[in-house]
Amino acid sequence: MHIPDGFLSNGINAATFAISVGACTYGVRRVNRNFGEKEVPLMGVTAAFIFAAQMINFPIAGGTSGHFLGAVFSSVLMGPWASLLIMTIVLIVQCLGFADGGLTALGSNIFNMGIIGGLGGYGIFFILYHLSGKSRKGFFFALAVSSWLSIVAGASAAAIELAVSGTSPLKVALPAMAGIHALIGIGEAIITTTAVSLILKTRPDLVISFAKKGALHEKTA
C-alpha cells in the first residue's frame, strides 16, 4: 500500500508529513530512554528483515498480490515507538533508493503504515492481550487479530486520504481498499504469528511485549 506521487493532494501530504515528523520526534525521545546495547543491533536486524520480507509479494485472489508489512511484528518485538522508527527508516529507503512509494507521499505512507498500522496495531494488540489475561493463547490471538487489523486500518487510512484528495470517492475507495487488504491481512497475520512464535521458541527474552510477563521473563541483567 505504498502510495506513489500524484495520488494525494498537497494538503494531505503536508498534514500527514507534519504528523509523522512529530510522531517520529517523540518516538526518538521515547526510545532514547530505554535503548540499551542489545537494542541497537536488534533494530538493524528487524529493519533488514522487514525490508527483505516486504519484497516478497504473495498472490491473493483476482490477479492481485500483497506483501508483509511488519509494523505489528516490530512493535511486539521492540515496542511501538522503536517500531515506528524502523518502519520510517524502511519507508525512506524504499522511497529514495527503490522508487517504492512517492517522495511527496512519504508522510502519508509513514502515517498509514507506521502510525496507524504500527502504533494503532500495537494498541489493539495491547488491549486484546491484556483482556485475554496474558495467556500464551491470548498472546497469539491478540497478535493475529492486531496484525490483520494493522493492514486493514492502514489501507482504510489510505482510502480516506485518497477520498479527501479527490482522487477517488470514499464510498468507492474505502470498500475496495479495505476489502483487498482484508485478504492481504490474513497473510500478515500468518507471517507475524509464525515469525514471533519462532523467536519465542528460541529467545523469549527478545519479545519485549511477551517477556514482560513475570514467569516467562528472563532477567538479562
Partner 1 sequence: MKRRLDGLIWIGLGVSLLLALFLSPFASSSPDGLEKVAETRGFLEKGEGWKFWKYAPFAEYAIPWIKNEKVSTALSGLIGTLAIFFIAMGIGKLIKRSTAQKALFLMILSFSLSSPAFALRPLTTDDAYTVERGAFQLEAGVDTTRQDNHDREYNPGLTLTYGLLEQLDLGIGSGYLFFDPKEGKRENGLGDTELKLKYRPIDEKDWIPSLAISGMLKIPTASKSKGLGSGQTDFGINAIATKKIAERWIVHLNLGYTFIGENGVNNEMNYSLGGQFILTDKWALVGEVVRINNLNGRHGDDPLSGLIGTYYSIKENLILDAGVEIGMNKAAPDFRITAGFTWLFKP
Cell numbers given for 127 = 488491549
Residues in contact with partner 1, shown as a per-residue x/- string from 47 to 86 under the rule CB under 8 A: xxx-xxx-xxxxx--xxxxxx-----------------xx
State yes or no: residue 25 binds partner 1 (CB under 8 A): no
Smallest CA-to-CA distance from 215 within 107, 139, 151, 134 is with 134
Q: What is the DSSP letter of 110?
A: I
**Shortest Å distance, C-beta 166 to partner 1:** 10
Among 11, 18, 22, 103, contact with partner 1 (rule: CB under 8 A): 103
24 binds partner 1 (CB under 8 A): no
Binding to partner 1 (CB under 8 A) within 144-173 occurs at: 155, 158, 162, 167-168, 172-173
Q: Is residue 40 within the footprint of partner 1 (CB under 8 A)?
A: yes
User: Does residue 35 bind partner 1 (CB under 8 A)?
Assistant: yes
Which neighbouring-strand residues pair with 58? 66
Residue 109's nearest CA partner among 16, 11, 7 is 16
Nearest to 2 by CA among 94, 80, 122: 94
- Cβ pair 2, 154 in contact under 8 A: no
Interaction residues for partner 1, span 107-146 (CB under 8 A):
none
